[in-house]
Structure 1
């Protein structure tokens, strides 16, 4: 039977089909797979550059290892698009990162080929070691393969896993995908060390062959290894030294060319056939490989919107307002210009958090610590203890990784670290793994912590100024992903009185809405729609989740039939704090009805932010419905379609 007229990728319904192909056919699959990934992401947007960097690696791993019995664990998951196409999801790639569609990351509930979910970094080696122990204790699983990037391996959790895996000595495969690029250019000593290994391996025309020979040498008997090393030293004049990974107990192979399918297949087959303990295979790749616009971009097209394949030009939504991230970055830069003690810390996200704006003007005062949130928080605490004014800018979902340090190294010591919490609330296409749902609750639980939430971009400027002026303990302010509301921005932020909210709209006394964060706009829109139906609703902006404005709350409770709190956070957050404070103050004893509107007690999958909030009941229509229910009115009398517009 001939397949001459059939694209090779069309013959791949799953990884088993790869294992029956010749090496030249596997190369054809890789070439076609790269084009498929580019085409798919051009229609949906997503993480393109990292996926293009592992096309050959994805093909080789699935061709050599017996997935799904062998467990392939991708770190972070940014790079999993080729893997999804090869594992039976090709026909659904057009739904990537959309409501009801494929996740942008690996997800256990999506496929048996996704044995472990990912989206936060540096977890793959730990999970793979767990599968390895399961195998050795009789569970129906084969080998475990962890693929981890150079940026992710700089995080503390990866070191902990390497140390434990080396000590255990079990058969385990770790593939280091070294592209010298995570989201931002890598930082730290490990990055420099990996670069030095790569440079040494590529000296001369036989660099790749030497790397492969040295790698395969690891599996030879000790007398053969020793003899080969002595011979190499005589020829090259270079003293042979063990790598960092070998000192941890791993056999080290590489560096090898991660885009040479023949070299990858040879090394993986040899490693699989001979390994008895933990093995680390160091692959050098190029982020954005094979697509010129990506390779030529400063961020290698890490995350892109829909784009034109021919030109690489991305479709950009028209915005009438700046993004919250940009407003924060500009406000911080101006504050730093006025106060030389202000410094900024970020964990591998300088552009994502907006501190790159400050870095352009004050590069010596901005510190990118890499994917190391724990270190970043304590590093900021140390700077605060020295008398500096650190702003620790980390996404809400990633700050969770440094929570112990927030508790013990910041809050317990009363140090004035300023936490700028980007991506608060639901974030859209990245889904549940990146949702900033829990920070109100986990920060509000800490003694001495001040927690603010910006209702719009002008309020965010005020909160930056408030944080800069606050020097008596830790303070945090949260704001969402995306563009602001288009309000006029002040020339400079004002320092807010700690723990004081503000009245937005005074109603007649039926229902009061107490909002925290950017749902204030939906509260105002709901009040306008309800007013047309004869329901005059009061709207207030809490500004602070901690300390609460108890004077404002008492006034609302005492003058209204019902009080509804509204927030973009999980249960146990702002609403729970209001209820607990009211119980403590005896404000629940006066007959005012209380309702809390927050995210439901479930993880919400990817969709547009508007769709996600609608599903959560946290939009204008949801607020109207809640008001009507608390008043016992028929919600059908309100034009919900109009309210949503």
Structure 2
């Protein structure tokens, strides 16, 4: 059935309501599975409307999820979901149906599979392309322990572009592991899939035949019974395809209609009787069953809450930081033909759609391949061009070796626009950008900047681009402070901070707040309150640069500072505050120092403001911590 609206009332789902464990699903007659799938689709539409979150991918795997739990003895058999964008139906069928509307909220269900949430979540995920490696590890461990169980990895075609997936497949063949890989081919990751692998899958689909399993359990090649999907002509796949998976050494079956639950059950049951590395290729439609999502799978990758009980307060209109990056990219490219832009499958999220349309010959979406993205940029820089890599903080972690060896060691001119830095709210710990200061500031040759607002972000991006060497600008998710953005691009002096506020300067002793990036603005509010409450001089410094650190301004402030405070939306351990501590120790400046930042723990999902409050990094928490530290400092005088 095709739905056109997201329901605001809970749908009537009698079969689904009776399933609190997959064992109850397996007790149903196979003829009832289509009704289960339809009820599950209605419920996902409703629950996602209540909670917001990932949408299109979940609608696309409903029949596949029903078939998997019907055919395999979960949790004894292992299901491993790659990325986890598509795990909502899995959560519903494994005892978390009534909790699903709480997903991505504080104390609610995690946005992705999480081992501490359910025994059915066999492997925690959030980054792509890990499922086959994890599944292979489980399979080999079961073989070693003589524990017979099926291990099934469900991997999207977008996730298959990362080298890690092919490394795992190669190793699975080497060990002849009993492993089933379900390739969920919907021609999408978050954006449309690109590259040679996408063309290969299109060619397999369009050749008009598929590999089936007959009644004797043998693999047979048959004409495709019905073309359920339009031709993927944008991939230019017209010739008969060789089969990459068979060439590697996997048994290959498919492509099958991923929305035909009866055929899926037949195939999966037959597949269980075989051994060795097996791959089942299913073709699904992202957003299946919801007309707007089928028409716009990119726009409906995720949705906001559809049910709002209290109207949100109107806020001053401000651009997203990703949009600031995208506009800067176009403006910089207009005046420098050497600029090339690279993204690992994050065109929309990184604000690059306009650039991609305006400069298609200068835009490179390398698919989900962060390591390749970084070294690709290094190669371009070797030829005298100026590549810009747009990447999320959490994903740059995957390209760390390349950042060190391929870019920084060779001192190549590569600019990094690092989005989603700091806490990211509802996506939770897998997507938090909490460690980039720490893992970047130890690398020689690398300049690291953090803007206080959207205008400074624009100017810092220009500064990084103008700098002849590797440089990174780290900015948060969401909107800026609403300041006016200067169109003129002006490079900042490298390594120079700025004093943005001085209060009660007539007093001898003062509190010096060294604020980094997103925490500058709340620190201005805190300073006003402290100056009145404590009758003390307060200076707020926008540090701007994490590396090189402005040591001169710290040294100058030290003469009159009774308490240094560092504030950052980053892990305290090894962060920007630690850089300040290191300088003070090296310069033998002995002063009380309060380092405020994220704790040494993984923080569960909640709204961004809630997370900041819980960490003491909103204005209220910062002020309370400084007042306590100031009282202790006075006792030492």
Q: Does the aligned pair in 1 maintain the 2:13–2:39 contact within 8 Å?
A: no
CA 1:298/1:67 → structure 2, altered by over 3 Å: closer, same or farther? closer
SS in 2 for 1:479: strand
Q: Which residue of 2 aligns with 1:358?
A: 355
Cα shift at 1:585 = 2.1
Match of 1:617? 616
* Contact 2:20–2:94 (Cα < 8 Å) also in 1: yes
- Aligned partner of 1:524 in structure 2 is 524
Write the distance in 1 (CA, Å) between the matches of 2:362 and 2:266.
Answer: 47
Question: How much has 1:119 moved relative to structure 2?
Answer: 0.7
Moved more, 50-59 or 246-255: 246-255
Q: What's the secondary structure of 2:17's corresponding residue? A: helix
Match of 1:491 among 463, 466, 487: 487
- TM-score, with structure 2 as normaliser: 0.91
Alignment of 1:457 with 2:454, yes or no, is yes
Could you tell me how far apart the structure 2 residues matched to 1:7 and 1:401 are?
44
Q: Which residue of 1 aligns with 2:601?
A: 602
**Mean CA deviation greater in 108-117 or 574-583:** 574-583
| 1:375 aligned to which of 345, 349, 372 | 372
Residue of structure 1 in register with 2:257 after alignment: 257
Deviations, residues 39-71 of structure 1 (Å, cap 9, x unaligned)? 000111110000000000000000000000101
Give matches, 1:213-228, under 5 Å. Answer: 214-216=211-213
1:207 corresponds in structure 2 to none
Structure 1 segment 54-453 matched on structure 2, within 5 A: 54-138=61-145, 142-200=149-207, 203=208, 211=210, 214-216=211-213, 243-272=243-272, 274-299=273-298, 301-307=300-306, 320-453=317-450
Confirm whether residue 476 of structure 1 aligns to residue 478 of structure 2.
Answer: no
Q: Distance between the aligned counterparts of 1:275 and 1:387, measured in 2?
A: 54
What is the CA distance between 1:242 and its match in structure 2? Answer: 5.9
Tell me how far 1:631 sits from its aligned partner. Answer: 1.4
User: Do the aligned partners of 2:204 and 2:240 also contact (CA within 8 Å) in 1?
Assistant: no
* Structure 1 residue 586: Cα displacement: 2.2
1:218·1:253 contact (CA, 8 Å) conserved in 2?
no
The separation in 2 between residues aligned to 1:436 and 1:308, in whole angstroms, is 29
Encode CA deviations 1:400-441: one digit per residue, 9 max, x unaligned.
Answer: 010000000001100011010000000001000000001001
Counterpart contact for 2:217–2:270, Cα < 8 Å: no
Distance 1:178 1:278 in 2: 19
Alpha-carbon distance in structure 1 between the residues aligned to 2:297 and 2:90: 25
Query: Structure 1 residue 535: deviation in Å?
Result: 3.3
- The verdict on how the C-alpha distance between 1:512 and 1:139 changes in structure 2, with shifts beyond 3 A counting, is farther
* Residues 1:240 and 1:623: Cα distance change in structure 2 (over 3 Å): closer
> What do the CA deviations read for 1:153-193 (whole angstroms, capped 9, x no partner)?
01110010110111111211100000001101111100000
Are residue 551 (structure 1) and residue 552 (structure 2) matched? yes
**Structure 1 portions without partners, runs of 5+:** 204-209, 310-314, 635-645
Per the alignment, residue 568 of structure 2 pairs with: 567
More moved, 188-197 vs 615-624: 615-624
Change (3 A) 1:248 1:564: same
Q: Higher mean Cα deviation, 80-89 or 318-327?
A: 318-327
- The answer to whether structure 1 residue 48 and structure 2 residue 55 are counterparts is yes
| Kept in 1: contact 2:424–2:477 (CA 8 A) | yes
* Worse-superposed segment, 296-305 or 185-194: 296-305
SS in structure 2 at match of 1:408: helix
Name which of 480, 486, 496 aligns with 1:500.
496
* Alpha-carbon contact 1:251-1:280 (below 8 Å) kept: yes
Please state how far the C-alpha of 1:218 moved relative to its aligned partner.
12
Change (3 A) 1:232 1:545: closer
Tell me the SS of whatever aligns to 1:288.
coil
Shift of 1:220: 5.3
How far residue 493 of structure 1 moved from its aligned partner, in angstroms, is: 2.8
Cα distance in 2 for residues equivalent to 1:72 and 1:41: 23
Equivalent position of 1:630 in the other structure? 629
Give the conservation status (yes or no) of the 8 Å contact 2:100–2:109. Answer: yes
Name which of structure 1's ranges 530-539 and 289-298 shifts more when overlaid on structure 2: 530-539
Structure 2: any 5+ residue segments left out of the alignment? Answer: 1-11, 225-237
| Cα 1:140/1:192, change in 2 over 3 Å | same
Measure how far apart 1:510 and its partner are.
1.7
Q: Check the 8 A contact 2:152/2:179 in 1, yes or no.
A: yes
SS in 2 for 1:537: strand
1:79-113 Cα distance to aligned partner (Å, 9 max, x none): 00000000000111121100010011000000000
Is the alpha carbon distance of 1:23 and 1:298 closer, same or farther for their aligned partners in structure 2, counting shifts above 3 Å? closer
* Deviation of 1:22 (Å): 1.1
Q: 1:71, 1:141 within 8 Å by CA — same for their partners in 2?
A: no
How far off is 1:140 after superposition? Answer: 5.0
SS in 1 for 2:279: strand
Task: Assess if the C-alpha contact under 8 Å between 1:37 and 1:52 holds in 2.
Answer: yes
Q: Structure 2 CA distance, aligned partners of 1:71 and 1:182?
A: 24
Q: Provide the C-alpha distance between the structure 1 equivalents of 2:82 and 2:140, rounded to a whole number of angstroms.
A: 19
Matched position secondary structure for 1:561: strand
Is residue 389–residue 417 contact of structure 2 (8 Å, CA) maintained in 1? yes
Distance between the aligned counterparts of 1:415 and 1:194, measured in 2?
36
Structure 1 residue matching 2:254: 3-state secondary structure? strand
Aligned mates of 2:496, 2:314 — CA distance in 1: 36
Structure 1 CA distance for aligned equivalents of residues 139 and 55 of structure 2: 31
Structure 1 match to 2:464: 467
Checking the alignment, whether the CA contact within 8 Å between 1:76 and 1:122 is kept in structure 2 is yes
Q: 1:318 to 1:527 in 2, by over 3 A?
A: closer
Q: Structure 1 499/157 Cα, relative in aligned 2: closer, same or farther at 3 Å?
A: same
Residues 68 and 351 of structure 1: CA distance in aligned 2, closer, same or farther (over 3 Å): same
Map of 2:227 onto structure 1: none
More strand by share: 2
- Greater shift, 281-290 or 462-471, is seen at 462-471
